[in-house]
């Protein structure tokens, strides 16, 4: 199956010489480039409307203040609460770059969404972002009455690096005896730093996220003395039984496709209720590409419907 036609113009732009690759220059330069590509060119008219948005400060690891943003749906009564971790290879991204992704989740799932601006590498390498993510979920659980209001429907979600963090937090919460999670949404997650996968070669060039980007991200996030098979780095290597139900979504033209598919299969084999979606014509990052790609928008709606089913 070829790349969906709606993404061809976007890929032509991404692959043009004037657009810097994700892992280009210093982290500071790459963050500015990523923000320019995601935030600065955004048409506000395309943003999904929600009932209310509030910027807050979240307690990260050891009480470190983190930027956060709360999205509220136009729904009466208690709702689920979703704690969302943005993508960007643990080096890029923030609550602004992933604003519309959170809006989609808020509206389509009918949930309060808490977006977390965890600390980034290389200033805060592994396990810093994972520690922040766990602390943020505990922060949300302690304030659930003022968020969605339903303590039985707390979920985690994330895309790419954020999908890794959501999967890691789900395992951490199980092992620590809470907070109890009702579901996890893993969007094209970075599930395994220790394995070799065909998709990393097949999709290494030309589809937004590249193989060289992955090397650049890994170099900044993973300390040299870290074990790549550590489950808090590679959740696929962890114990998977007893985890909350999961929605796992992958894209056909994504270097992370095979690891994400492997994680969905492993969850299912461990007895975890898992709804797996592979969107063969799409690329990494499609959850934020709805404004330029009807196929991506349809995929987002499908994913949100699956998460809504788990949280019903």
pLDDT of residue 41: 87
- Spell out the residues 6+ positions from residue 215 whose beta carbon is closer than 8 angstroms to its own: 23
Helix (H, G, I), strand (E, B) or coil at 177: coil
Euclidean distance between the first and final Cα of the chain, in Å? 34
Write out pLDDT tens, residues 92-113.
Answer: 999 999 999 999 999 999 999 9
Query: How high does pLDDT run on average in the chain?
Result: 97
Q: How far is CA 216 from CA 20, 91, 127, in A?
A: 14, 9, 17
Query: Which residue, among 116, 104, 126, 31, has the nearest Cα to 69 in the 3D structure?
Result: 116
- pLDDT, average across residues 171-187: 97
Separation between Cα atoms, residue 33 and residue 22, nearest integer Å: 8
Write out pLDDT tens, residues 147-162.
Answer: 999 999 999 999 999 9
CATH for the 5-311 domain, from 1.10.3720.10, 3.40.250.10, 3.40.50.1820, 2.130.10.10:
3.40.50.1820
Catalytic pick among 115, 124, 160, 199 = 160
Q: Are 286 and 258 in contact (CB under 8 A)?
A: no
- pLDDT, average across residues 72-82: 97
Say which residue the tokens 């790419």 belong to: 160
- Say whether pLDDT at 1 is over 90: no
Q: What is the pTM of this model?
A: 0.98
- Say whether pLDDT at 18 is over 90: no
| Encoded tokens for 131 | 């520690």
- Percent of the chain residues past pLDDT 70, beyond the cut: 100
Domain chopping of the chain, boundaries? 5-311
Whether residue 160 lies in the annotated active site: yes
pLDDT of residue 95: 98
- Spell out the residues 6+ positions from residue 291 whose beta carbon is closer than 8 angstroms to its own: 43, 46, 100, 297
Query: Which residue, among 90, 122, 96, 86, has the nearest Cα to 22 in the 3D structure?
Result: 90
User: What's the chain's length in residues?
Assistant: 312
- Percent of the chain residues past pLDDT 90, beyond the cut: 95
């Amino acid at each position: 199956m070829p790349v969906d036609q709606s993404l061809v113009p976007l890929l032509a732009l991404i692959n043009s010489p004037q657009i810097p690759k994700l892992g280009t220059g210093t982290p500071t330069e790459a963050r500015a480039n990523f923000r320019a590509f995601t935030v600065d060119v955004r048409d506000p008219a395309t943003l999904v409307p929600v009932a209310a948005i509030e910027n807050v400060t979240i307690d990260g690891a050891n009480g470190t203040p983190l930027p956060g943003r709360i999205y509220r749906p136009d729904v009466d009564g208690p709702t689920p609460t979703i704690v969302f971790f943005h993508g960007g290879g643990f080096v890029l991204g923030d609550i602004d770059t992933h604003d519309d992704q959170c809006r989609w989740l808020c509206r389509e799932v009918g949930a309060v969404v808490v977006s977390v601006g965890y600390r980034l590498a290389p200033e805060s390498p592994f396990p810093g972002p994972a520690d922040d993510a766990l602390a943020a979920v505990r922060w949300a659980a302690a304030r659930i009455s003022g968020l969605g209001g339903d303590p039985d429907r707390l979920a985690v979600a994330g895309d790419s690096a954020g999908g890794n963090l959501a999967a890691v937090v789900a395992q951490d919460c199980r092992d620590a005896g809470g907070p109890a999670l009702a579901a996890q949404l893993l969007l094209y997650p970075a599930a395994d730093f220790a394995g070799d996968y065909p998709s990393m070669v097949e999709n290494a060039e030309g589809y937004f996220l590249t193989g060289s980007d992955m090397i650049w991200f890994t170099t900044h996030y993973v300390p040299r003395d870290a074990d790549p098979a550590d489950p808090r780095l590679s959740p696929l290597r962890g114990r998977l039984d007893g985890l909350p139900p999961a929605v796992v979504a992958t894209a056909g033209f994504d270097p992370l496709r095979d690891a994400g598919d492997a994680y969905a299969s492993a969850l299912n084999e461990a007895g975890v209720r898992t709804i797996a979606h592979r969107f063969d014509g799409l690329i990494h990052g499609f959850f934020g590409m709805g404004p330029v790609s009807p196929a991506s928008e349809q995929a987002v709606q499908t994913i949100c419907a699956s998460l809504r089913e788990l949280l019903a």
